[in-house]
Structure 1
Amino acid sequence: MSAPIDLLIIGGGINGTGIARDAAGRGLSVLLVEQDDLASHTSSASTKLIHGGLRYLEYYEFRLVREALMERERLLGIAPHIIWPLEFVLPHSADQRPAWMIRAGLFLYDHLAKRKRLPASRAVTFGPHPAAAVLKPQNRRGFTYADCWVEDSRLVVLNAMDAAEHGADVRTRTKLITARPDGALWRADIEDRATGARETITAHAMVNAAGPWVGEVLSAKLGRNTQKTVRMIKGSHIITRKLYDGEFAFILQNPDKRIIFAVPYEHDFTLIGTTDIPYEADPSKVEITKAETDYLCESISRYFRTEITAADVVRSYSGVRPLYDDHAENASAVTRDYVLDVEGGNGKPALLSVFGGKITTYRKLAEHALEKLLPAMGRPIGTSWTAGAALPGGDMPGADFDAYLATLTRKYPSLPAPLLHRLARAYGTRAERVLGNASTTADLGVDYGGGLTAAELDYLVAHEWVREVEDVLWRRSKLALHVPEDTATRVAAYLRGCKVKESTSFL
């Protein structure tokens, strides 16, 4: 058994990887274990937005909204390749909240935190606005405001990468079997799911960032009881072929007061979501229901000239949001704020459990987690550092994606512009590590479809913990929507070859 580490983190979603990154950057020795792939569950099932949460204002979540708006600016600066501004169109009609109330809410949204990169909200008449061609004629006026788009699962991976580059040990497809206090340390047994090999780890502190499984980890793995629980809320999304032209999104209010987003997605598609339904089954087996699909289709058809049905859905996904249970009756009203529960200290090993949270505030959650955890470990808090430190690939001068893309295009003038744009969006400045000295696409090796080359697969396996087809085609990218049918089979064969090489390299 190796020497004790400082911190063992359970969970490879956005909160676990965010805490790992921050902790490793403060000099702690960190091991993160994730039973599946990074961002396998909740963190890849979002609406892909970095936003303050406009609708949270009606629940008086002012602290959360302000923190989220501040984080929106910070994240846009440290990851400009995977986060970018997006205009939202909010149609308004007489049967909704009064226009003055919405305008007041938007004014508050504009001013709760300093806003440097995004435009202010405004009232609009849809005649001159391109949304007029999308919305039914009765939708004549409304409002626009700005938030941001994010490649959610890539945000998780980039945090894991930065954690690893600061010394953290990140192990995917590795599960916690059990953990118990042993004097001033945790003694934990972990298992590699691919090989079945087990290892005993000792750690000064643990973080339970298991998302929907946070309660199960506490009770079944750690033998702990707690009054704090998560309330699991299922959110489902559908993807259709592109329903409109234009790089703007819609926020649509339904008669039941729920909000639905329609967002431009992967150039050729529209992303629609989400639902809010209480969920009590296995979070790993969550799926959209026919009723949810119909609800989302009806929501769009209520507003758009182009009406849709379930037959128009090309793909769907669902996730379980592990919200802190504040006992609200309405699932949509359950707080999106987070609660950090710390146990131990004073000679006992420390344990921090994460309840709730949202992707926009993950970085601040990580700071707060360490501010609570380090004193319990008897360690100085040190200096917070992640607010201005670029995530891998985000180190573009002035956080200017367009300028960087122009530089990349000049460096690789013979490579297709769509390929360069996709790689720059996915990897930022690290696209050059994928491209190397290539002067033609042939230099990048076999094309597995949709511009996915051997060079890119090699990079993903070496640096981004890719092991299975879904890791590549759905979580590290959304190429599953674009590639030929045989791509998955061919990529699977490539990955099997990587596993053979890995197993024989130790012979």
Structure 2
Amino acid sequence: MNFPQEKKECDVLVVGGGINGVGIARDAAGRGLSVILCEKDDLASHTSSASSKLIHGGLRYLEYYEFNLVRKALIEREVLMRSAPHIISPLRFVMPHMKGLRPVWMLRAGLFLYDHLARRELLPGSNAIDLRKHVAGVALKPSLVRGFMYSDGWVDDARLVVLNAMHAVEKGATVMTRTTCVSVIQQDGKWQAQLRNAAGDTMVVQARSLVNATGSWSAQFQQDCVPQATGKTLRLIKGSHIVVKRLFDHDNAYIFQHPDGRIVFAIPYEKDFTLIGTTDLDYRGDINQVAIQQEEIDYLCELTSLYFKQPILPADVVWSYSGVRPLVDDGAADAKAITRDYRLELDQSAALMLTVFGGKITTFRKLAEEAVDMLAPLLGNHSKSWTANACLPGGDIFGTGPDNRAVLEFGEFERAMQQQYAWLPASLVARYAHAYGTKIHQLLDACTCLDEMGEAIAPGLYVREVRYLMQYEWARTATDILWRRSKLGLHLPPGTEKKLAIWIAENP
């Protein structure tokens, strides 16, 4: 991207391209505010692509009396499902009861609350199951005979970030990735920010307000911008996940209790794999270089081996990822007990600045709505919130707005796409349908046969898709494409990443 030489002006400058930053940019742009967002790396390149891939209320937060947070998240769970049924889908969870841990009565009470704290239209409630007779019990140890099932949702977290950025652009925002906010100063009631892209080019943005959505960097960024601000203390908690070959032959997920009080999920992942996580460890290392430790791998393998018949060994791990959750330090001694709720801090001392602290992926839309509700009136904008009733790009499966049918009958859309694009392999169309929703038509525009998809850089990865991702979804590297815009990196042969990187370098 070549930067303009003249100074750019906007109502809102958002720094940070994680889920909270793009959510705020989308909401603000949709209300008619002029928005610029900059992200120093790729979209979702840090915490927002390192989640457990769940849209959930947070069942375990009930133990810490976080009723408001759980209720807010439960409401958002179905709002988000309707807005993006291609990348968010219902998921049933199996909770085996292990003797000596949380008693049955406590599990029943918790699930009753979980079922009734918020209205449900899409998801069935909880029920008890006999693991000796249920398909979910086949993979478990014979000593586990009782269990419960409940509902939550699965999400492609990195794509959720990208779709919010795309929607922000559709509403008029400017999104600049690999662009660092080098400095910001307050001048005449506005912010003067210097931005620098990967090529070293710089530009100046004059903004009426500044949103600090830098996640793990937010406390430091706030101090750099407003040294007099009291600020919040962040506690950085690392969460790591491992991926192994598929451990069970059904579509339910598991939630396992550990004697130390933590819980770990085992989730069907990318058809051929099982995703296991997460850990909770205080983190004091380089936020830009976060990686799993051997002790975390051992912990996750040992815990799941308490439940599954088939022991999981460190050698079984085919991929892992880690992220740092920037949680508001509420004084909790144990990392697992720290609140996952968010805080919004508005500073009006000289120029408007809103800082986002904490949060979780399920409540990003509500966080964004509240943030813009705070900012917009101060900028003379009194437009109403709108995102609760809007589809993200590709989510308008059966019409222009969000509806339950798109969630409950997504398979019908998938089959219709396979018929319409019968010249493509059915499995490839299914992947496109889930990744792009109705944007599949833009991806395949004017293509009528496989030859028109361009070279197959790798099995199932055609030039047509790579160009689409580069043109519309800010993909710049092989890692962007194989590990964030998709998880093709898990499926494709060794050497694919290098081959794709060469193609990108030769076809800028």
TM-score by structure 2 length?
Answer: 0.96
**Higher mean C-alpha deviation, range 215-224 or range 252-261:** 215-224
- By how many angstroms is 1:393 displaced? 0.4
1:141 matched to 2:142? no
- Residue of structure 2 equivalent to 1:30: 35
- The residue correspondences of 1:48-127 to structure 2 (distance < 5 A) are 48-127=53-132
Does the CA contact (< 8 Å) of 1:21 and 1:166 recur in 2?
yes
Deviation at 1:331, TM superposition (A): 0.3
Listed as ranges, the matches of 1:304-315 within 5 Å are 304-315=308-319
Indicate the residue corresponding to 2:263 in structure 1: 259
- Measured after TM superposition, the shift of residue 215 of structure 1 is 1.5
Residue 443 of structure 2 aligns with which residue? 434
Task: Decide whether the 8 Å contact of 2:7 with 2:203 is kept in 1.
Answer: no
Superposed displacement of residue 490, structure 1: 2.0
Please state how far the C-alpha of 1:494 moved relative to its aligned partner: 2.0
| Secondary structure of the corresponding residue to residue 457 of structure 1 | helix
Please tell me whether the aligned partners of residues 25 and 35 of structure 2 are also in contact (alpha carbons under 8 angstroms).
yes
Q: Secondary structure at the match of 2:82?
A: helix
Alignment of 1:186-335 (within 5 A): 186-192=191-197, 194-220=198-224, 223=227, 225-335=229-339
- 1:393 matched residue in structure 2: 394
Aligned to 2:453: 444
Shift of residue 226, structure 1, vs aligned partner:
2.6
Pick the aligned partner of 2:469 from 460, 484, 489: 460
2:412 aligned residue (369, 393, 403):
403
**343, 355, 358: which is aligned to 1:356?**
358
Deviation readout 1:146-191 (Å, 9 max, x if unpaired): 1000000000000000001111000000001111110111011111
Shift of 1:222: 5.2
Within-5 A mapping of 1:463-482: 463-482=472-491
Q: Secondary structure at the match of 1:136?
A: coil
Structure 2 gaps of 5+ residues are 1-5, 399-404
CA contact (8 A) 2:10 2:35 kept: yes
Matched, 1:416 2:391: no
In 1, distance between residues paired with 2:228 and 2:44?
A: 26
CA distance, structure 2, for counterparts of residue 190 and residue 276 of structure 1: 34
RMSD: 1.2
Instruction: Specify the code of the residue in structure 2 equivalent to 1:2.
Output: K
TM-score, normalising length from structure 1? Answer: 0.96
- Whole-angstrom distance in 2 between the partners of 1:9 and 1:158: 17
**Identical counterparts, % of pairs:** 53
CA contact (8 A) 1:57 1:105 kept: yes
| Count of residue pairs the alignment pairs up | 495
- On the 8 A contact 2:8/2:204 being kept in 1, the answer is no
The letter of the residue matching 1:495 is: I
1:177 aligns with 2:176: no
Distance (whole Å) between structure 2 residues aligned to residue 195 and residue 81 of structure 1: 35
CA separation of 1:160/1:478 partners in 2, compared to 1, >3 Å: closer, same or farther?
A: same
TM-aligned CA deviation for residue 140 of structure 1? 0.2
Instruction: Report SS of the residue matched to 1:214.
Output: helix
* Structure 1 match to 2:3: none
Alpha-carbon deviations, 1:427-468, whole Å to 9, x = none?
Answer: 011112112233332221111113010000010011000101
**1:283 Cα offset (Å):** 1.1
| CA drift at 1:486 | 2.5
User: Aligned equivalents of 2:467 and 2:379: distance in 1?
Assistant: 42
AA in 2 matched with 1:370: V
Structure 1 residue 369 corresponds to structure 2 residue 371:
yes
1:205-249: CA deviations, max 9, x gaps?
000000001022122355454331211000000000111111010
TM-superposed CA distance for 1:93, in Å, is 2.5
For each residue in 1:2-39, what CA deviation from the matched residue of structure 2 results, as whole angstroms up to 9, or x when unmatched? 35310000000000000000000000000000000000
Partner Cα distance (1:352, 1:227) in 2: 11
**Contact 2:41/2:178, CA 8 A, preserved across alignment:** yes
Q: Report deviation, 1:497.
A: 2.6
The letter of the residue matching 1:373 is L
Distance 1:63 1:356 in 2: 15
Q: Secondary structure at the match of 1:281?
A: coil
SS at match of 1:316: strand
Amino acid at match of 1:118: L
1:505 aligns with: none
Query: Deviation at 1:378?
Result: 4.0
Q: Supply the AA of the counterpart residue of 2:201.
A: A
C-alpha separation between the residues in 2 aligned to 1:94 and 1:269?
Answer: 29
Counterpart code for 2:169: A
Q: Determine the C-alpha separation between the residues in 2 that align with 1:282 and 1:241.
A: 30
Q: For 2:506 and 2:189, locate their aligned partners in 1 and report how far apart those are by CA, in whole Å.
A: 44
Cα distance in 1 for residues equivalent to 2:228 and 2:177:
25
